Amino acid sequence: MTAASEALLHRTTVTRAEQHSYAAHGHVRLPGLWDRALAGRIAAEGRARHAAAVIPRRGPRTPVVARRLPARGTPAAGGPLLARIHLELTGAARALTGRLLVPTFAAYGYYEDDDEVFLHIDTEQCGLTLLTTAFGDVGPLHVHPGLTGSTMERLGALESDPAWDRHGGTRLTYPDTGVTALNGHVLPHHRPGRRAPGLRAVAALCYRPLF
């Protein structure tokens, strides 16, 4: 086996407890998928690829009032290391959900000075989303099971409402050497945002059901 073909990950399986937790809640932490050396390589690639990041033309667009419009979108970029991890985790994604999932896209999403994410659901290309912090200090994602089934218009109305509790919901953090799996096409989620100088990035790996 050549170095290029060697497996990157420590494990590509999921436990029965992880399966049950995902089925019950629509999200679960999957720690220990890789070692700290690989975490460092992910951080290095994420930083290096920032120069090539662009605002995606497609993706969830939460309809908000003018005063809530962001100054800019979230730039994103892929990378060969992230693509390999994406492929190697396909089996785990299938075992976790019990569905025949296929990889769709994987990218680093970059946040500068603020890590806010509007309330939304993911597109159909993300029947399962795996999330990890590539580098920097990223706040927890807030998931809202009580809003399941809401339209993007409904979510936009909440996002636009100054009285909406932006600190509510279930907080999801990302393990240092693994991912948090999220049924993001079903579960509405957001990040309230924390202003802090500097650049940070989240890596998102998406899968969709083949059937």
Q: Tens digit of pLDDT for each residue in 86-116?
A: 999 999 999 999 999 999 999 999 999 889 9
- Sequence-ordered list of residues with C-beta below 8 angstroms from that of 185, at least 6 positions apart, any chain: 121, 122, 123, 124, 126, 127, 129
Residue 67 or residue 178, greater confidence? 178
| CA contacts within 13 A on the Cβ side of 113 | 3
Distance (Å, whole) CA 67 – CA 104? 33
Coarse DSSP helix, strand, coil percentages of the chain, rounded to the nearest 5 percent: 30, 30, 45
Strands (E), the chain: 27-30, 76-77, 101-114, 117-120, 128-135, 141-143, 170-172, 179-182, 189-191, 195-209
Q: Tens digit of pLDDT for each residue in 18-29?
A: 999 999 999 999
Domains, the chain, in order of start with CATH, read 13-209 (2.60.120.620)
Could you tell me the pTM of the whole model? 0.92
What's the rounded mean pLDDT across residues 1-22? 82
Q: Tens digit of pLDDT for each residue in 126-139?
A: 999 999 999 999 99
Q: Tens digit of pLDDT for each residue in 57-73?
A: 766 677 776 666 666 67
Distance (Å, whole) CA 103 – CA 101? 7
Residue 21 or residue 55, greater confidence? 21
The confidence score (pLDDT) of residue 41 equals 98
